[in-house]
Amino acid sequence: MSKKQAIYVISDSVGETAQKVVAAVSAQFPELNPMDIRRYPFIEDTEMLGDILQEALKEKGIVVHTLVSRDLVNFVESFCRRTSLSYVDVMSPLTTILQGITGIAPQEQPGTLHQLDQDYFDRVAAIEFAVKYDDGKDPRGMLRADYVILGVSRTSKTPLSMYLANKNLKVANLPLIPEVPLPKELMEVDKEKMIGLTTSLESLRSIRKSRLKALGLKEDSSYSSDERILEEMAYAEALYQRLGIRIIHVEKRAIEETAALILEN
């Protein structure tokens, strides 16, 4: 095959069940491996779901879902039947049979499979959340986050997000770039949940030069210039003041120290 088969794994929880089903089935087709498996956990509304289904349709993909919300299940079924998009509903067939035989209605509660070890799966969920909403990939995640971390490039937003995720906190982060408009969702976030990161010119210059060197690029680019760094820092500082949020200076601080400052408030 010249192009890998795209499979869209969709869930309103972690998505582990659907992923295991896909892995078990794909193992039976070694000539098709590796498949292009795209995982979309924690889908909670039809807007997010619709975007994924439109992409799957464009890519001629296969949808495999373990959604338990009847509204979301109906949305997928309606979309796929209307567009002839191939899909597999892992949960509904057996759920329907059990309900018919027992007369007991399902809870339609995502993640109930893992409630016996809730702390572990909460942590997995938080890590998945941090990855999904890292670097401003999808601003809608900021509205569901426990914390939203803001900062210019190389102020340790991603490592801090992942560290907090390991403490079962859902964290989104947003890079601040003067030329890039701020997402409208940012203005809807509770300021108590927002953290602004800052550092010194000297520290940021050194970190950026090291980053450019590691990438095999020239260390004296505008990215690491004093003029550019000062411009970005001034932009970030002005935004922090306008939003009225907490500011943490991260120079010479370990990720654990920064996280402790966030959590002590």
Q: Is 172 exposed, middle or buried (0-12, 13-18, 19+ CB in 10 A)?
A: buried
Q: What's the whole-number mean pLDDT along residues 69-85?
A: 94
Which tokens hold the place of 126? 């938080």
What confidence tens digit (pLDDT) does each residue in 173-201 have? 999 999 999 999 999 999 999 999 999 99
Q: What's the whole-number mean pLDDT along residues 49-75?
A: 93
Give which of 41, 24, 45 is closest to 33, Cα–Cα: 24
Domains and CATH numbers, the chain: 6-110 (3.40.50), 117-263 (3.40.50)
What confidence tens digit (pLDDT) does each residue in 103-128 have? 888 766 655 554 446 777 788 889 99
Q: Which helix (H) or strand (E) holds 228?
A: helix 226-243
Q: What is the DSSP pairing of strand 86-89 with strand 62-65? A: parallel
**Binding-site sequence positions:** 151-158
Which tokens hold the place of 180? 């890039």
- Within a 13 Å sphere around the CA of 68, how many CA atoms are in the beta-carbon half? 19
What confidence tens digit (pLDDT) does each residue in 126-158 have? 999 999 999 999 999 999 999 999 999 999 999
Q: Which residue has the higher pLDDT, 12 or 1?
A: 12
Q: Is 88 exposed, middle or buried (0-12, 13-18, 19+ CB in 10 A)?
A: middle
Q: Which residue has the higher pLDDT, 18 or 84?
A: 84
Mean pLDDT is lowest, of 28-32, 90-94, 115-119, for 115-119
Q: What is the DSSP pairing of strand 62-65 with strand 36-40? A: unpaired
**Binding-site sequence positions for ADP:** 151-158
Which tokens hold the place of 155? 């102020």
